[in-house]
A and B are shown apart, each in its own frame.
Chain A
Amino acid sequence: MDASAEARLAPDPTRMQVLEERLLDLEKRLAQVEGQVAEDRVALVVFSGDLDRVLAAFVIATGAAAMGQQVSMFFTFWGLSVLKKDSQLAGKTLFQKMMALMSPASSKGLPVSKMNYFGVGAKMLRSMMKEKNVSSLEEMISLARELGVRVIACEMSRDVMGIKESELVDGVECGGVASFLADSLKSRTSLFI
């Protein structure tokens, strides 16, 4: 091998340095992009306490979980009724007591958004669903938990309505808007129900 060929094959230190810098820069930018890419996540806000709407939320949640998505459900305002296991009156203000008396004591007491007729409509829908062998809301709730769906109760609305943590079913996290957004910003799908 002659001298000129050897020189051509020898690594050029400045060129190597430039390449290394570009590589580092690319790695940094890739890490940034990776942080912004949506993950396999679904985030749902359940604002409504209507049986039909809540059912839709749980069908989506359990379906998404079955499809391998990480699902978060954030329950706020009327949606909190879904998470209640019973209703207590002790230690509540007058308005909070009134609210407790007028809202469902648990998921079993949810009204339908249309044609409720003091609960007759909800009972009718439940029996029609049973007839068609559709899982009940309570079955879907426990199924969602089984599939690892994250359940968050909105701290602020819980506090305003005077719903105590002891009135909620077990295994519910309490959180604020940031805990929902932390999940929804990384989600491909976010729904407000």
Chain B
Amino acid sequence: MSQVFDKLLDARGLNCPMPLVNARKEIGKLAVGQVLKVVATDRGSVADFQGWAKVAKNLDLVGQETESTDGTDLYVHYVKRTA
């Protein structure tokens, strides 16, 4: 699955809660309807982004995927600003 996005946030190497905190800052800079792609190495971010999307009223988690490059797992999240 490849998803269209408007902005890319590199959260590789960051740990809880930083991928979420940085994504929150970035999504505020996007226009309504735009999608932020977040690339993280923190495995916990998968559940964290799901929880965030459940609670927050102004965004949707439109996709999540796991990629493996050079032995490191990358957790990719697509967050769409809805309001």
Interface residues of A (CB under 8 A from B): 40, 59, 62-63, 65-69, 132-135, 143, 147
Contacts and interface: CB of A to CB of B under 8 A. Distances in A.
Contacts of A65: 21
A133 B13 CA distance: 7
B33 interface: no
Interface of B: 13-18, 20-21, 23-24, 48, 51-52, 55-58
Contacts of A66: 17, 20-21, 23-24, 52
A191 to B, nearest CB: 15
Chief secondary structure at chain A's binding surface: loop
Contact of B16 (A59, A68, A147): A59
B55 A59 contact: no
Contact of A59 (B14, B17, B23, B58): B17
A62 B15 contact: no
Most central of A63, A135, A147 by chain B CB within 10 Å: A63
Nearest to B55: A67
Nearest to B22: A66
Given A67-B52, A67-B55, A68-B56, A143 B21 contact: yes
B81 to A, nearest CB: 12
Given A63-B16, A133-B13, A68 B21 contact: no
Which among A59, A65, A67, A143 has the highest number of chain B CB atoms within 10 Å? A67
Contacts of A69: 55
A67 B55 CA distance: 7
